[in-house]
Structure 1
Amino acid sequence: MKSIRTLLFVAFLLVACAPGTASTPIEAATQTSVPASETPSATPVPPTAAFTVTPTPRPLAERVLIISYDGLRPDAIGKAPMTNLTALMQESAYSLNAQTIIPSTTLPSHASMLSGLCPAKHAVFWNEYVPENGYALGVNLFTIAHTAGLRTVMIVGKEKLRQIVRPESTDVFIFKEADQTVANLAVAEIQQGFGLMFLHFPSGDYAGHEWGWMGGVQMYNYREDDKMLGQILASLDESGLRASTLIIITADHGGHEKSHGTELPEDMTIPWIVNGPGVIPGPLTSFVQTTDTAATASYALGLPLPTEWDGVPVYEAFGLPTHPRVPAACPQTR
């Protein structure tokens, strides 16, 4: 399986880098469409034209589910409380001191989460839905997974997240603002089977901006999200997929008062929780950055790791020695 996935990925790179060659988009179940413009809003520091890859071991998991709770600070997990998530953490490797990127805002942070790249490389510095800006630069996790033949699903609560991954790299892309709708759609997609799924729950961030971070309304929203997590986990169990699924639960940023986007610890610090095949439960001691999400998912699936990625697999979660990263963290570029 590993060799087939690697050959598919190399073939994809050869086609992608050939002049005048265009890929044929795969029809996606989407609520939105985005023009094919690739003009970023800022001058990027682009990745190299042809990505090189490092080998990975045989897959640890058959599929990966990534869940992002928008605006979730680590201390909100206990305060809300999020009881399903707390119970899952007892069987997981986790960090309550993981770091997002600068700027600590939704779209750039999620772009780093799913691309494995710092903002200087993926060039997403804007934080609104701006179709004319095109898509994040670089080869992202969804491109790699889809090229390897995995069924890829994104269900998001903010339309702007469409600009992270090109439509041809998602078999299913759905934008729905209500958290419960996101959860219901996730359950339906789990029943159909998937290789890589990303879920985004936006309500906690909306509550923080309106009523304040760590306030009662935001805690209520995270409690409701936690009930939906229970539904998603139950669906994995009922479908017989839980034991072979790697689950990563994290956030794009934290927040303070009614805002975020700064270098304050309240804005930068996020939870990072991984559960599933090969994971050694317990708190992580190594530094974890949001870019490591893509790298860890690719590693667990036995997919190639582009050497241009800034993120690295969180090897400690699997009982392996940690690897040094260069740079140690994404530098401030704006």
Structure 2
Amino acid sequence: MRNFHKNYLVISILLLSIISCQQEKHEKADRIILIGIDGVSLSGFEKAKTPNINKLIKNGAVSLKTRAVMPTISGPNWASHLLGAGPEQHGITINGWTKANGTVIPSIQDIDGYFPSVFQLIREQLPKAKIGAFYDWSPLGDMYNKKHLDKDEYIDNYIEVFKKSTTWIIENKADFAFIYAGLPDTKGHSYKWESDEYIKAIEDVDVQIGFLMDELSKANMFDETNFIVVTDHGGVGYGHGGLSMAEIEIPWIISGPGIIKDKTIKQVNNVENTSSTIAYMFGLKQPYEWTGKVVKGAFSSFEDSKNNTMGYINQPFSNAKSGIFQDIQKVDFYNNDSSPIYYTVDGSVPDSSSLKYENTLSFDKSVSINAISIKNGIKSRILNLDIEISYPVKSARLKKQAAKEYSAQGVATLFDLEIGTNYFKDGQWLGFHENDMVLNIDFAESKNINSVKISCLKNEYSYIFAPQSIEIFASENGTDYELVKSMTKAEIDEVTFSGLNLVVLQFQAINSRYLKLVAKNIGKCPAGHRAEGEKAWLFVDEVMVN
């Protein structure tokens, strides 16, 4: 009887293993086309009208949680897409990388000095495969060993890139092709990320993707083709390469046979996973040195995909922006598919029971707005707008000036409508060395005031501490002041953390023309600090009164 139970247990385990393997088996892809679009931010992707990319999403899935590698520049990220690993493995850390100028030695190299690429993997395990790459940024061609491709061509025009690649794919019944267009990145650097010109660039590339899709359909090759659409980084202002989420978090799209349909991939993803996913789709074994993983949540054959039940609709956008203002702000929302938009004004998460946007909104007080598109139960990403309204100041003076090396634009720095960064040397901060900040403000006329917000920096390693206390005094004549609000060190410590902080003091509304703010310096670095007993710094930037 014991042997029977043992045999039964072994057979059960084997059957479960077989069933599990069958569930995770993906039928080998007939054709995969990897489309790379440089510099597409999440917000740019959702603002742009891209009917062809949207068609691919309807026939597949989209990740809004894909992350770029550091640094957020093109070279390391395109290499990570194509080489299945990060810069610490493949060694490509700069734009314009070559074998001659690289400083990080790849963890493994072929006889020609290249880290293994997805092109090499396909060539070695599918020797008869037709493989091509077409691109309009020449440094891409230095990242991999070209001998593994049947066609590798740099073309200095993104439209020609799509025309030539499409012709080659159809004529050769290609197994794998990489198509790259750099237009959005170029426009972002020239006109700023999120500018009209930048958004149009994404839309222009989408037109060419539509051309590719139409031609494949005419050749009866569309239905059997898997598409992966990727990018390398977002951007802020005129550039990228930093650590903001606008640069790090990017869209990633996969479509075609075997892929879940019209769904959002909620699992975290990164650029290293692109080649690993392609290898899985072709039934290839990836190199040990690759660090990428299969994006299992995209495949109906994996259990992970069962958690991805939410469809995709565009996030709403607004004519307004987060920031500090001195006048009434009018806010409108829009999206690309006319889905209903709901919003909250208290920072809470909106849903279909929240306020529905119908007409222009006006705000004369500070507000934290969250907006969402909802259609057929499908929810978009949330748009957040933090609008700070601050009364204009007639004049202001400091009892003691900031230290010379951290004086920025003097007292005007506190009212320039811009908050400094986490970096205390960015020229936006007033630094007080052991001294308190005592600030007198004249609004020219009496104002109804119930809130004062003070931006301060906390970087204790650099001897910069949060205020010891904050006091606010009010006066109607500029001579006789009355205390209206204060915060103790304990209260300040509860709401401040390492980095940039916005300390909020709210109180019963008063009418006052003059305010006096006293932010006390801790004085000396406290016991246990690495500079115990030395003079401490107090760093203050924006002061907002409403």
Query: Is residue 261 of structure 1 aligned with residue 241 of structure 2?
Result: yes
Query: Partner residue of 1:315?
Result: 296
Query: Is residue 105 of structure 1 aligned with residue 73 of structure 2?
Result: yes
Structure with the larger strand share: 2
- Superposed CA deviations along residues 193-212 of structure 1, whole A, max 9, x for unmatched, are 21111011011100000110
Query: Partner residue of 2:82?
Result: 114
Query: Is residue 237 of structure 1 aligned with residue 213 of structure 2?
Result: no
**CA distance 1:58–1:321, change in 2 (3 Å):** closer
Which residue, 122, 131, 136 being the options, matches 1:157? 136
Structure with the larger helix share: 1
Question: In angstroms, what is the RMSD of aligned CA positions?
Answer: 1.9
CA distance in structure 2 between the partners assigned to 1:214 and 1:136 by the alignment: 39
- Superposed CA deviations along residues 57-82 of structure 1, whole A, max 9, x for unmatched, are 56431111000110011222231211
Q: Which amino acid aligns with 1:274?
A: I
Q: Could you tell me how far 1:311 is from its partner in structure 2?
A: 0.7
Query: Partner residue of 1:276?
Result: 256
Q: Is the 8 A contact 1:65 1:247 kept in 2?
A: yes
SS in 2 for 1:187: helix
CA distance in structure 1 between the partners assigned to 2:120 and 2:25 by the alignment: 19
Q: Show the 5 A alignment for 1:207-246.
A: 207-246=187-226
Q: Is the 8 A contact 1:59 1:299 kept in 2?
A: no
Query: Partner residue of 2:165?
Result: 186
Q: Please say which structure displays the higher CA radius of gyration.
A: 2
Query: Is residue 206 of structure 1 aligned with residue 183 of structure 2?
Result: no
Which residue, 252, 257, 260 being the options, matches 2:232? 252
Unmatched tracts of structure 1, length 5 or more: 1-55, 324-334
Q: Which amino acid aligns with 2:283?
A: G
Q: Is the 8 A contact 2:86 2:291 kept in 1?
A: yes
Unmatched tracts of structure 2, length 5 or more: 1-23, 103-111, 306-546
CA distance in structure 2 between the partners assigned to 1:122 and 1:307 by the alignment: 13
Query: Is residue 166 of structure 1 aligned with residue 184 of structure 2?
Result: no
Q: Is the 8 A contact 1:73 1:269 kept in 2?
A: yes
CA distance in structure 2 between the partners assigned to 1:58 and 1:69 by the alignment: 27
Query: Is residue 144 of structure 1 aligned with residue 121 of structure 2?
Result: yes
CA distance in structure 2 between the partners assigned to 1:322 and 1:115 by the alignment: 24
Is the deviation greater in 74-83 or in 162-171?
74-83
Alignment: residue pair count: 268
- Superposed CA deviations along residues 91-136 of structure 1, whole A, max 9, x for unmatched, are 2111112111101111110100011111101000121254634788
Which structure has more relative contact order (CA 8 Å, sep 6+)? It is: 1
Query: Partner residue of 1:40?
Result: none
- Superposed CA deviations along residues 276-324 of structure 1, whole A, max 9, x for unmatched, are 110012101111101111011111111112232111111111131359x
- Superposed CA deviations along residues 37-73 of structure 1, whole A, max 9, x for unmatched, are xxxxxxxxxxxxxxxxxxx956431111000110011
Q: Which amino acid aligns with 2:100?
A: E
Q: Could you tell me how far 1:169 is from its partner in structure 2?
A: 1.3
Query: Partner residue of 1:301?
Result: 282
Query: Partner residue of 2:441?
Result: none
Query: Partner residue of 1:5?
Result: none
User: Normalising by structure 2, what TM-score?
Assistant: 0.47
- Superposed CA deviations along residues 145-171 of structure 1, whole A, max 9, x for unmatched, are 122221110001100001121121111
Q: Which amino acid aligns with 2:66?
A: A
Query: Partner residue of 1:48?
Result: none
CA distance in structure 1 between the partners assigned to 2:154 and 2:216 by the alignment: 22
Is the deviation greater in 194-203 or in 239-248?
239-248
Query: Partner residue of 1:125?
Result: 93
Q: Is the 8 A contact 2:99 2:113 kept in 1?
A: no
CA distance in structure 1 between the partners assigned to 2:220 and 2:232 by the alignment: 29
Once the two structures are aligned, what percentage of the paired residues are identical? 24
**CA distance 1:133–1:195, change in 2 (3 Å):** farther
Q: Is the 8 A contact 2:27 2:258 kept in 1?
A: no
CA distance in structure 2 between the partners assigned to 1:128 and 1:194 by the alignment: 28
Q: Could you tell me how far 1:256 is from its partner in structure 2?
A: 0.8
SS in 2 for 1:132: coil
CA distance in structure 2 between the partners assigned to 1:136 and 1:97 by the alignment: 33
Query: Partner residue of 2:270?
Result: 289
